[in-house]
Structure 1
Amino acid sequence: MTRTAIIAGQGDLPAALAARLDAPVVAALEGFIPEGLVPDATFRLERLAILMRNLIAEDVTRVIFAGAVRRPDLDPSFFDPETAQLVPRILAAMQGGDDGLLRAVIAVFEERGFEVLGIGDVAPDLVPAEGVLTGAPTAADEADAARAAAIVRALGDVDVGQGAVVAGGLCLAIEALPGTDAMLDWVAMTREGEGGVFFKAPKPGQDRRIDLPTLGPATIRRAAKAALSCIAWEAGGVILLNREAVLAEAEAQGITLWARAS
């Protein structure tokens, strides 16, 4: 029997995927346990080769990466001999930013014979296609979304972030290492007035099988506290978690949700 493994981090996404797969193997990075799901195994990055051997023994031929992680601190004493041979490659990839590191991890799995899947391959309903899900974008929203999209493209070119907030044509914040929640909270604390767009998109040239941006109900609540009128994202490039709850929250807060053509 061919099986799929979920290489899991924190959050609700791994559980959402597990519910759509037949008897998946769930391997969680140590320290980043997913919510609502008990992993079959935990692993350290320093023992990546051992993890892959164990997955092969479980008849796993396909893997999908899901959930939030941060770069772990590597402990040289934990490396097994085979994984240690990958260290120069991994360290070099780290110097190239998050996207470079993720591409290197994908390559390592593919070289061991695994097929690496994207979220859309397993759960296309989680990645909305073009369209307006709630409300209706105003002319101001459309202009702010276009400005924010240009900013996010520029950020992505230097591997910085996947989001920006624009109101009245002015950039109020960009997403950096602290993440989306910190950015929206900062806007809520510092801005004057109301309206504007929070925009999310993958980085240009990003391998979309891994690290797609994610929106959930908490994002809607934070956007409301920041007095934003619209959340827009690149159609087909953002994961919408807990769709019904997200739509209900957006309707209640009067926030337009828009999967925008790139």
Structure 2
Amino acid sequence: MTKTAIIAGTGVLPGILADRLDETNTPYVIAELEGFAMENPKGRPVERFIVERLALLFDRFDDLGVEQVIFAGAVSRPAIDPERIDPKTATLLPVLLPAFQQGDDALLRAVIALFEDAGFSVVGVDSVAPELVPGEGVLTTAQPSQDDKADADRAAKVVAGIGALDVGQGAVVAQGLCLAIETLPGTAAMLRWVAEVAKTCRANPNGAKGVFFKAPKPGQERRIDLPAIGPDTVVQADAADLAGIVIEAGGVMLLDPEATIAEANSRGLFIWARTP
């Protein structure tokens, strides 16, 4: 069987993928970037690494027989400490350092290229846990109305626009008006702002509540940094008094599908995986 390395960041996703690999008896190793500890309630062993010694991680993977890698979890851009760079990793810096000055997608593409050049295949989350990336359809008991669908269409255009600028992956639209867009602080901050401020901006207080829409950026490298929602997202959307959540079918993960859908059903919100 192909031995897999999970490149882990913060959050539950690395553990979820490890569970799936355990279920299929697929050998794997978890490599955790220093400063970005994954949620690890089962106490799985991890190999810790730093960006400044990335080449040494490649050597370690070779020793362990790793053939493919999968990136999982949240990581912000680490600061590079020149004093920690080893001579072998220094040869990678002409590729890596310029990418740090560009947008997220450019950086991710550079990272993937480095792993592939080192001889490892890079696969997406859906190759290990396809059930986390739903296809077309409404996943909940509640259904989107025609007004909700119109708001989703508008939000999709907004997200495509900000995504092309490498700004964010989400937006809130109500009654055709964009109430908020996702920027660096992330989804939770955006929905919290909508709950506190923007919900008073609806043109008709008795009209459509609005939707939260999330999708990958246009041309995004989907093997890393696939957008995700979970039960907390549903709670936050409810607090923002939205009618539901719309995600791009095949392009957004449900970190805990069963719990996420149950949370939405208990609150009367819909979750719609919409074809682009």
Same fold (TM over 0.5): yes
Deviation (angstroms), 1:96: 2.3
Confirm whether residue 231 of structure 1 aligns to residue 249 of structure 2: no
The CA deviation at 1:93 is: 1.3
Structure 1 consecutive aligned stretches of length 4 or more whose deviation exceeds 4 Å: none
The residue correspondences of 1:123-138 to structure 2 (distance < 5 A) are: 123-134=129-140, 135-138=142-145
CA contact (8 A) 1:28 1:39 kept: no
1:169 alignment partner in structure 2: 176
CA contact (8 A) 1:231 1:257 kept: yes
Q: How far off its partner does 1:40 sit?
A: 1.8
Q: Show the counterpart of 1:62.
A: 68
Mean CA deviation greater in 54-63 or 31-40: 31-40
Structure 1's unaligned 5+ residue stretches are: none
- Pairing partner for 2:55 from 39, 49, 54: 49
Q: Give the SS at the match of 1:145.
A: helix
2:155 aligned residue (148, 152, 156): 148
Contact 1:201/1:237 (CA < 8 Å) preserved in 2?
A: yes
CA contact (8 A) 1:215 1:241 kept: yes
After TM superposition, the structure 1 stretch with the greater mean CA deviation from structure 2, 191-200 or 15-24, is: 191-200
- Confirm or deny that 1:29 pairs with 2:33: yes
In structure 2, give the amino acid aligned to 1:170.
L
Is residue 163–residue 174 contact of structure 1 (8 Å, CA) maintained in 2?
Answer: yes
SS of the residue aligned with 1:20?
Answer: helix
Give distance in 2, aligned partners of 1:2 and 1:31.
Answer: 28
Per-residue CA shift, 1:176-199, capped at 9, x if unaligned? 111111111111110225710100
| Residues 164, 173 of structure 1: 8 Å contact kept | yes
Per-residue deviation at 1:114? Answer: 0.3
Q: Aligned partners of 1:8, 1:176: CA distance in 2, in Å? A: 23
TM-score relative to the length of structure 1: 0.97
Q: Which residue of the partner structure matches residue 91 of structure 1?
A: 97
TM-score (norm 2): 0.92
Q: Does 1:73 align with 2:79?
A: yes
Given that 1:11 and 1:68 are in contact with CA atoms closer than 8 Å, whether structure 2 keeps it comes out as yes
Q: Distance in 2 between matches of 1:171 and 1:83?
A: 45
RMSD: 1.1
Supply the AA of the counterpart residue of 1:165. V
For the 8 Å contact 2:159–2:168, the answer to whether it is kept is yes
Output one character per residue of 1:112-142: Cα deviation in whole Å (capped at 9) or x when no partner.
1101010111111000000000111101110
| Contact kept in structure 2, 1:235 and 1:261, CA below 8 Å | yes
Contact 2:2 2:27 in 1 (8 A): no
2:231 is aligned to 217
Contact 1:216 1:241 in 2 (8 A): yes
Indicate conservation of the 8 Å contact 1:33/1:39, yes or no. Answer: no
Identity %: 58
Q: Could you list the runs of 5+ residues in structure 2 that have no partner in the other structure?
A: none
- Distance in 2 between residues matched to 1:8 and 1:220, nearest whole Å: 24
1:39 offset after TM fit, Å?
4.3
Residue 139 of structure 2 aligns to a residue whose secondary structure is strand
Matched, 1:184 2:191: yes
Asked whether 1:246 is paired with 2:260, we answer yes
